[in-house]
Amino acid sequence: MTAAKELNPTSRSVLTIDVRTVDTLHDLAAMTTRDPYNDFDAYLDEVRTTVPRLPAELRTRLSEFAAGSTGEGALLLRGLTLRGQVPPTPALPVAAPATKNQFSEYVMSVVAASLGEPVGYAEERDGQIFQDVFPVRENAAALSSQSSSADLGYHTEMAFHPNPPDYLLLYTLRGDPDGTALTRFAATRNVLRELDTDVLAALSARDYMVVLRRLHSPYFAGGKPVREMDSGPWVSILGGDPLDPSLRYEPELMQPRHERAAEALRELTTAIERRAHHVALEAGDALILDNRRAVHARSSFRARYDGRDRWLRRMHITREQLAGSGRILTTDLAPGSYR
């Protein structure tokens, strides 16, 4: 595999938050009174009222990113550090481990409010809005965000799903102490530039079957548990507006219909590897990925399960208005659900 280049700290994808802005954010975070875990809608309403008070540069960069005008597919906000001690990293899945103040929840919610609506998926971690991501021994080698010894290959988030999130937000509570866990990403626009029109045409055809039985989560398709499914929906990898295309990409879960489709997928993967950057996320980093305009991956790393492992907090965000069913989506993965 071609090694991804290190992200240049002066790149347009990086914004280092100055100390005064961090102070302002801490003040705003401390003004909220609602409970982000037990009453998220009320908490988010409170957070929204603070958006106009965000420092101008942060607000501008977020709205440029939301408009997709930078074409970068990722925005890394650095320096958003918590004050005081971060509790030990959990080693077992738990419901919302409590960090002491609500700074991470505030930062994540205010970023999300600038981009769209935070959403949860009923079948993923019980629909949690704030999802803690840390290595879990049992899943060390699994295709899972809880893995560590396994390299989590390039993908778009929830590529198997009819409605993947438009954005993925990864806030870092604690970086990998060894610095070996690297998050990689590549902008769709840069990747597609590398490919010939016949490859793009192959990727645009519904010639990839989502292998639903490989999913770990308790989804249903046509009323049957997905683990019992031997066929899945046929999707295209490349879609959306031809002038601003989007990817649905997860080779581990996609079965090409024929060799031409398989070859196009391999070419895409090679192009992603050529155009990717990597960053070792550190405490206080918030990485926003545009899930249509970027793919991402994470290298393997060593987990020790001693309270000092890498610990991220993750959120899924949609640009659409919430439908009547609300913030927590329930989905049937039947073929007819896919656009």
Ligand X SMILES: O=C(O)CCC(=O)C(=O)O
- Scored b (16 or more CB within 10 A) or e, 92-128 reads eeeeebebeebbbbbbbbbbbbbbbbbbbbebbbebb
**The two structure tokens encoding residue 33:** 């009174």
Nearer to ligand X, 185 or 208 (CB): 185
133, 195, 211, 212: which one contacts ligand X (CB under 6 A)? 133
Q: What is the 3-state secondary structure (H, E, C) of 140-193?
A: CCCCCCCCCCCCEEEECCCCCCCCCCCEEEEEEEECCCCCCCCEEEEEHHHHHC
- Give the binding-site size for ligand X (rule: CB under 6 A): 11
State yes or no: residue 314 binds ligand X (CB under 6 A). Answer: yes
194 is in an annotated binding site: no
Q: Is 312 in the site for ligand X (CB under 6 A)?
A: yes
Alpha-carbon distances, residue 67 vs 55, 169, 319 (angstroms):
19, 16, 11
In the list Fe ion, ligand X, none, the entry touching 264 (Cβ below 5 to 8 angstroms by class) is none
Partnered with residue 256 across adjacent β-strands are 208
Which residues are CB-neighbours of 36 under 8 A, at least 6 positions away?
Answer: 43, 102, 105, 106, 109, 129, 130
Q: How is residue 21 written in tokens?
A: 């802005």
Q: Which is nearer to ligand X, 125 or 298 (CB)?
A: 298
Q: Give me the least distance between CB of 210 and Fe ion, in Å please.
A: 16
Instruction: By CB under 6 A, name the one of 183, 188, 190, 318 that touches ligand X.
Output: 183
> Is the separation of the CB atoms in 265 and 237 below 8 Å?
yes
Please give the structure tokens belonging to residue 86. Answer: 């971060």
Give the residue from 187, 190, 213, 292 showing the smallest Cα distance to 249: 292
Nearest distance from C-beta of residue 93 to ligand X, angstroms: 14
The mark string for 283-302 relative to ligand X (x by CB under 6 A, - otherwise) is -------------x-x----
Nearest distance from residue 147's CB to Fe ion, in Å? 11
Q: Among residues 13 and 145, whose Cβ is nearest to ligand X? A: 145
d(CA 47, CA 52): 10
Find the shortest distance in angstroms from Cβ 44 to ligand X: 21
Q: Of 170 and 195, which has the nearer Cβ to ligand X?
A: 170
Structural tokens at position 239: 């879609």
Question: Looking at this protein, which amino acid is placed at residue 290?
Answer: D
**Does residue 157 bind ligand X (CB under 6 A)?**
yes
13 binds, among Fe ion, ligand X, none (CB under 5 to 8 A by kind): none
Compose the 201-240 pattern: x for residues touching ligand X by CB under 6 A, - for all others.
----------------------------------------
Choose from ligand X, Fe ion, none: what does 112 bind? Cβ within 5-8 Å by kind: none
Binding site for ligand X (CB under 6 A): 133, 145, 152, 157, 168, 170, 183, 296, 298, 312, 314
